[in-house]
Amino acid sequence: MPHNDPADGPGKRLLRRDLLAARNRMTPDDVRESADALARRALELPEVAGAHAVAAYVSVGAEPGTLALLDALRARGVRVLLPALLPDNDLDWGEYTGEGSLARVRHGGRMELFEPAGERLGPEAVTRADVVLLPGVAVDGRGLRLGRGGGSYDRVLARLEVAGARPALLVLLYDGEVVEHVPAEPHDRPVDAVVTPSGVRRFR
């Protein structure tokens, strides 16, 4: 959900540009195979296996694919929440009940997103999730995530903290996106684990 955040410095923008260029060179088959592997890895995590509600998102373009995971979670009876981008870049939430419950939405001149078509549950709904899947472009050895630059998930993380909610924070990435160093801002919060097609790495 790109939209420049004032805290998004030049180091982050440069790293993001290079990693997104690498994603754009992937074939549809690469993306599909990775999505299946990511779903398998994520479903093996105890936090995911024991979750009653998971806040996730629908991948677009060459992002690490999430639909296989969303459908597998639903098949297990897990409640899956998906974000809807608000005009101020904050996120509302709705329930995923299958691909038919998604609407294709374009926000201004930005990329089209798939958002829940049904009832809106309010920005606070994310605080009731046991697991929150965060979109990202990279993560480093400290668990610091590089997002798309819109700041939407910084608000989600701040909302979780204010509510005293402690869901497992996971990011789904390709193997080459676990990097040595992500430029950090004071408000950046580490994730608990990264899931890639080849495995899982925990941070705290």
By percentage, how much of the chain surpasses pLDDT 90?
76
Q: So what's the pLDDT on residue 4?
A: 47
Q: How far is CA 83 from CA 57, 94, 117, 157, in A?
A: 6, 6, 11, 14
The whole-number average pLDDT for the span 130-140 is 96
Distance, in Å, from the CA atom of 134 to the CA atom of 170, rounded to the nearest integer, reads 6
Backbone angles phi, psi at 33, to 5 degrees: -65, -40
Q: So what's the pLDDT on residue 1?
A: 39
Q: So what's the pLDDT on residue 183?
A: 87
Task: Report helix, strand or coil for 64.
Answer: coil
Spatial contact of 146 and 135, defined as CB atoms under 8 Å apart: no
What domains can be seen in the chain, in order of their start residue?
A: 10-202 (3.40.50.10420)
Spatial contact of 185 and 167, defined as CB atoms under 8 Å apart: no
Higher local confidence (pLDDT), 193 or 148: 193
Give binding residues for substrate as ranges: 58, 63
pLDDT surpassing 80 at residue 6: no
Q: So what's the pLDDT on residue 149?
A: 79
Q: So what's the pLDDT on residue 9?
A: 67
pLDDT tens profile 60-82 = 989 999 999 999 999 999 999 99
DSSP label of 180: S
Angle between helices 28-44 and 67-75 (to 10 degrees): 40
Q: So what's the pLDDT on residue 76?
A: 95
Q: So what's the pLDDT on residue 179?
A: 94
Backbone angles phi, psi at 53, to 5 degrees: -140, 135
Of 40-44, 103-107, 165-169, which gets the smallest average pLDDT? 103-107
Write down the pTM of the prediction: 0.90
Per-residue exposure over 96-134, b if at least 16 CB sit within 10 Å of its own CB, e if not? beeeebbeeeebeeeeebbbbbeeebebebbbbbbbbbb
pLDDT tens profile 98-120 = 888 999 998 876 678 999 999 99
Q: So what's the pLDDT on residue 64?
A: 96
Distance, in Å, from the CA atom of 61 to the CA atom of 130, rounded to the nearest integer, reads 27
Give binding residues as ranges: 12-16, 58, 63, 145-153
pLDDT surpassing 90 at residue 148: no
Task: Report helix, strand or coil for 152.
Answer: helix
pLDDT tens profile 178-200 = 999 998 877 778 999 999 999 99
Distance, in Å, from the CA atom of 133 to the CA atom of 135, rounded to the nearest integer, reads 7
Give binding residues for ATP as ranges: 12-16, 145-153
The whole-number average pLDDT for the span 133-161 is 92
